Amino acid sequence: MTDEGLFLFRRAPIVQVGLYLQLFLLLLIGLPILRMVLATDLEVLRSSIEDAKVISSILLTLRAALWATLVCAFMGIPMAYLLARHNFFGKGLVEGLINLPVMIPHNAAGIALLMVYGPRFFIGKLFRDLGISFVGTEWGISLAMAYVSLPFLVNAARDGFLSLDPRLEKVARTLGASAWSAFFRITLPLAWRYILTGKIMMWARGISEFGAVIILTYHPIIAPILIYERLENYGLKYAYPVAVLLILLCLIIFGLLRLLASSERRRDLS
Partner 1 sequence: MVKLSTVVVEVGGFRLNHISFEVRDGEYVVILGPTGAGKTLLLESIAGLYPLKDGQIFLNGKEITYLRPENRNLGIVYQDYALFSAL
- Taking the C-alpha atoms of residue 99 and residue 58, their distance in angstroms, rounded to an integer, is 28
Closer CB to partner 1, residue 87 or residue 233? 87
Closer CB to partner 1, residue 71 or residue 179? 179
Residue 59 CB, shortest distance to partner 1, in Å, is 44
Closer CB to partner 1, residue 167 or residue 219? 167
DSSP sequence for 222-253: PHHHHHHHHHHHH-HHHHHHHHHHHHHHHHHH
Closer CB to partner 1, residue 47 or residue 178? 178
- Taking the C-alpha atoms of residue 208 and residue 106, their distance in angstroms, rounded to an integer, is 12
Contact status, residue 148 vs residue 109, Cβ threshold 8 Å: yes
Closer CB to partner 1, residue 59 or residue 171? 171
Residue 43 CB, shortest distance to partner 1, in Å, is 57
Contact status, residue 164 vs residue 187, Cβ threshold 8 Å: yes
Residue 170 CB, shortest distance to partner 1, in Å, is 5
Residue 155 CB, shortest distance to partner 1, in Å, is 23
Contact status, residue 222 vs residue 213, Cβ threshold 8 Å: yes
Closer CB to partner 1, residue 192 or residue 218? 192
Binding positions for partner 1, rule: CB under 8 A: 87, 165, 167-168, 170-171, 173-178, 181
**Cβ neighbours for 74, distance < 8 A, ≥ 6 positions apart:** none
Helix runs in 86-137, H state only: 91-103, 106-117, 122-129
**Cβ neighbours for 268, distance < 8 A, ≥ 6 positions apart:** 193
Residue 92 CB, shortest distance to partner 1, in Å, is 15
Residue 192 CB, shortest distance to partner 1, in Å, is 18
- Taking the C-alpha atoms of residue 207 and residue 223, their distance in angstroms, rounded to an integer, is 8
